[in-house]
Amino acid sequence: MEHEQDSSQGGVLVLAGTPIGDVTDAPARLAVELGAAQVVAAEDTRRLRRLAGALGAEVPGRVVSYFEGNEAARTPELVQALRDGARVLLVTDAGMPSVSDPGYRLVEAAVAEGIRVTAVPGPSAVLTALALSGLPVDRFCFEGFLPRKAGERARRLADLAAEPRTMVFFEAPHRLAESLAAMAEAFGAGRRAAVCRELTKTYEEVRRDTLADLAKWAEPGVRGEITVVVTGAPPADPSQIGPAELVARVAGREAAGQTRKEAIAEVAAEVGVQKRVVFDAVVAAKKG
The last residue of a domain, from among 187, 207, 230: 230
Same structural domain for residues 58 and 84? yes
Distance (Å, whole) CA 52 – CA 170: 26
- Answer yes or no: do 14 and 102 share one domain: yes
Are residues 118 and 143 located together in one domain of the fold?
A: no
Q: Are 115 and 206 members of one domain?
A: no
* Separation CA 192–CA 181 (nearest Å): 13
| CA distance linking residue 50 with residue 35, whole number of Å | 15
Of 87, 102, 123, which marks where a domain is finished? 123
State the pLDDT at residue 280. 92
Q: Is residue 244 part of a domain?
A: yes
pLDDT at 67: 94
Q: Are residues 105 and 194 in the same domain?
A: no
Q: Are residues 182 and 250 in the same domain?
A: no
1 part of a folded domain: no
Q: Please give the Cα distance from 102 to 42 (Å, whole number).
A: 9
Q: For residues 97 and 186, state if they share a domain.
A: no
Q: Which helix (H) or strand (E) holds 87?
A: strand 87-91
116 and 134 fall within a common domain: no
CATH, residue 196: 3.30.950.10
Say if 20 falls within a structural domain. Answer: yes
Same domain, 13 and 113: yes
How many whole angstroms separate alpha carbon 265 and alpha carbon 55? 56
Residue 135: inside a domain: yes
Q: What's the pLDDT tens digit per position in 58-84?
A: 999 999 999 999 999 999 999 999 999
Cα–Cα distance measured from residue 139 to residue 220, given in angstroms and rounded to the nearest whole number: 33
* 130 and 190 fall within a common domain: yes
Residues 244, 160: one domain?
no
- Of 211, 230, 249, the position where a domain reaches its end is 230
pLDDT at 5 (0 to 100): 45
Query: So what's the pLDDT on residue 245?
Result: 83
Q: What is the pLDDT of residue 272?
A: 79
Whether 113 is covered by a domain: the verdict is yes
Which candidate, 159, 229, 218, places its Cα nearest to that of 191? 229
Total residue length of the chain: 288
Judge residue 184's burial from the number of C-beta atoms within 10 Å of its C-beta, 0-12 exposed, 13-18 middle, 19 or more buried.
buried
Residue 152 structural domain: 126-230
Low-confidence ranges of the chain (pLDDT < 70): 1-9, 236-239, 288
Q: What is the CATH classification number for the domain harbouring 40?
A: 3.40.1010.10
Whether 107 and 35 share a structural domain: yes
Q: Is 2 domain-assigned?
A: no
Distance CA 106, CA 119 (A): 13
193 within domain boundaries: yes
Q: Are 217 and 193 in contact (CB under 8 A)?
A: no
Q: Which residues pair with 170 in a beta bridge?
A: 145, 227
* Position 48 in a domain: yes
Number of domains in the chain: 3
The reported pLDDT for the residue numbered 226 is 97
What is the Cα–Cα distance from 179 to 150, expressed in whole angstroms?
9
